[in-house]
Chain A
Amino acid sequence: GAGVSQSPRYKVAKRGQDVALRCDPISGHVSLFWYQQALGQGPEFLTYFQNEAQLDKSGLPSDRFFAERPEGSVSTLKIQRTQQEDSAVYLCASSLTSGGAGEYFGPGTRLTVL
Chain B
Amino acid sequence: KQEVTQIPAALSVPEGENLVLNCSFTDSAIYNLQWFRQDPGKGLTSLLLIQSSQREQTSGRLNASLDKSSGRSTLYIAASQPGDSATYLCAVRLTGANNLFFGTGTRLTVIP
Which residues of A come within 8 Å of B, CB atoms? 3-4, 31, 33, 35, 40-45, 48, 55-56, 59, 91, 93, 98-108
Contacts and interface: CB of A to CB of B under 8 A. Distances in A.
Where chain B touches its partner, the secondary structure class is strand
B69 interface: no
A56 to B, nearest CB: 6
Interface in B85-101: 89, 91, 93, 98-101
Contacts, number: 60
A91 B93 CA distance: 17
B98 A42 contact: no
Contacts of A45: 99-101
A55 B41 CA distance: 29
Contacts of B36: 105
Nearest to B41: A107
Nearest to A10: B41
A59 B99 contact: yes
B104 A41 contact: yes
Contacts of B102: 35, 42-44
A24 B102 CA distance: 23
A33 B43 CA distance: 13
Contacts of B6: 42
A33 B101 CA distance: 12
Given A40-B104, A101-B93, A31 B98 contact: yes
Contacts of B104: 40-42
Interface in B39-92: 41-46, 49, 89, 91
A55 B98 contact: yes
A56 B94 CA distance: 14
Given A3-B43, A93-B43, 8 more contacts: A31-B98, A40-B104, A43-B102, A45-B100, A45-B101, A93-B44, A98-B98, A107-B41
Contacts of B43: 3-4, 91, 93, 104-108
A27 to B, nearest CB: 17
Nearest to A44: B102
